[in-house]
């Protein structure tokens, strides 16, 4: 699912994320092969397989995410964005879970003109 603009990339992220485990592969496809992702405060992973593993764990709560853009700075081929987000789901104990923060992401235009995440830090401003 190629993204032809940063806005489309963010929209596809939300849609894949909200599908839970069935959206895992679409979610991972939104990242560069060597991208870095922060699945929790103070913990970073790099590369497709590590990102897939991190999201597989996160998506077990069948989360829904709300994202509001706070700041977007762009050049021709790179976008730095900050979003306020809240993720709600159901834990393995059946109880509701909620976590949120202020993120920092870097997306980059690829040689074919599509956009992918290079850095995704959901806890980037915390």
**Residue 52 corresponds to which tokens in the numbers above?**
């897939």
Q: Mean pLDDT throughout 104-112?
A: 96
Measure the CA–CA gap between 102 and 120, rounded to whole angstroms: 11
Tell me the pTM: 0.92
> What pLDDT is recorded for position 107?
97
Structural domains in the chain, sorted by start: 6-121 (3.10.450.50)
Measure the CA–CA gap between 73 and 105, rounded to whole angstroms: 11
Residue 126 has pLDDT above 60, yes or no: no
Measure the CA–CA gap between 40 and 54, rounded to whole angstroms: 9
Q: What is the pLDDT of residues 32-89, one digit of tens each?
A: 999 999 998 889 999 999 999 999 999 988 899 999 988 889 999 999 999 999 999 8
> What pLDDT is recorded for position 25?
97
Residue 110 has pLDDT above 60, yes or no: yes
> What pLDDT is recorded for position 33?
97
Residue 125 has pLDDT above 70, yes or no: no
């Amino acid at each position: 699912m190629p993204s032809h603009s940063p806005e489309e990339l963010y929209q596809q992220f939300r849609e894949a994320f909200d599908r839970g485990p069935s959206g895992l592969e679409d979610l991972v496809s939104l990242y560069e092969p060597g991208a870095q992702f922060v699945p929790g405060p103070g913990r970073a992973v790099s590369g497709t397989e590590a990102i897939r593993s991190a999201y597989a764990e996160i998506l077990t709560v069948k989360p829904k995410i709300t994202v509001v853009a706070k700041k977007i700075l762009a050049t021709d081929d790179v976008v730095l964005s900050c979003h306020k987000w809240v993720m709600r789901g159901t834990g393995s104990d059946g109880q509701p879970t909620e976590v949120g923060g202020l993120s920092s992401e870097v997306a980059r235009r690829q040689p074919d003109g599509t956009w992918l995440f290079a850095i995704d830090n959901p806890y980037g401003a915390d």
